[in-house]
Amino acid sequence: MADNLMEVTISDVSITNVGFAIFLKPTDIESQRVVPIFIGPLETYSISSALDGVTPPRPNTHDLIISMLNEMEARVLHVIINDIIGNIFYARIVIQTEDGVLELDSRPSDSVAIAIRSKCPIYVNEKVYRESSVVLGEENKEKGDQVESEIREEIEKRESSQENVYRLTGGITSEIEDLKKELQKAVDEENFEEAARLRDLINSKVQEN
């Protein structure tokens, strides 16, 4: 195990002004700083349901991965949020097999969802913690607003780019705007499966045009 890793736990899973996020805090030091990682609605549901001990009637993707590992007599040793470039986090899943130890590249949301189910430690590289951690609360509201502002700007750029496409595609604009309203309603009602379906439908219509 590298010396520059710190173990973290999930302090919260919630929706913010810019989307769903998990907040990771160190387990072995007293600190008000947490690492916010913004994730999709389906990943939010997967993580929240695992934390609440909810077992779906049929296995979702992360449950299926754990079942496959168990059948192969492999186990997850730990996961690592090992890097951040811009606003994008990177993670690794470390797996023990009968042939040795494997490290797999992973999105942080998937690695955390799998770590909860396998009851293994979650680590964050100290560099990631230094560069991305924030203090939640009024005493650091300005920095928290800055983080949200940067992400909001990125979202607005993408939406602006999409709007330019809408202008060129005539009647498709109204249809996609209606779908975006339905998407927002699904998110507000925490209907994550419907939200994911609508998101994919919007993306496919933009790409078609």
CA separation for the pair 158, 160 (Å, rounded): 5
- Indicate whether 132 and 157 sit together in one domain: no
Q: In terms of C-beta density within 10 A (0-12 exposed, 13-18 middle, 19 or more buried), how is residue 207 classed? A: exposed
- Indicate whether 174 and 146 sit together in one domain: yes
Query: What's the structural domain count of the chain?
Result: 2
Q: What is the pTM of this model?
A: 0.65
Question: When comparing pLDDT for 7 and 207, which is higher?
Answer: 7
Q: Which of 97, 113, 136 is the last residue of a domain?
A: 136
- Indicate whether 152 and 191 sit together in one domain: yes
- Indicate whether 169 and 80 sit together in one domain: no
What pLDDT, in 10s, does the model give residues 67-124? 999 999 999 999 999 999 988 999 999 999 999 999 999 999 999 999 999 999 999 9
* Structural domain span for residue 161: 139-208
What would the mean pLDDT of 144-151 be, rounded to a whole number?
Answer: 54
Nearest to 76 by CA among 43, 106, 102: 102
What pLDDT, in 10s, does the model give residues 148-174? 565 556 556 655 655 554 454 455 567
What would the mean pLDDT of 125-143 be, rounded to a whole number?
Answer: 74
What would you measure as the largest C-alpha separation in the chain, in angstroms? 58
Q: Which of 136, 156, 187 is the last residue of a domain?
A: 136
- Indicate whether 95 and 161 sit together in one domain: no
Beta carbons of 36 and 29 less than 8 angstroms apart: no
- Indicate whether 111 and 123 sit together in one domain: yes
CA separation for the pair 30, 16 (Å, rounded): 24
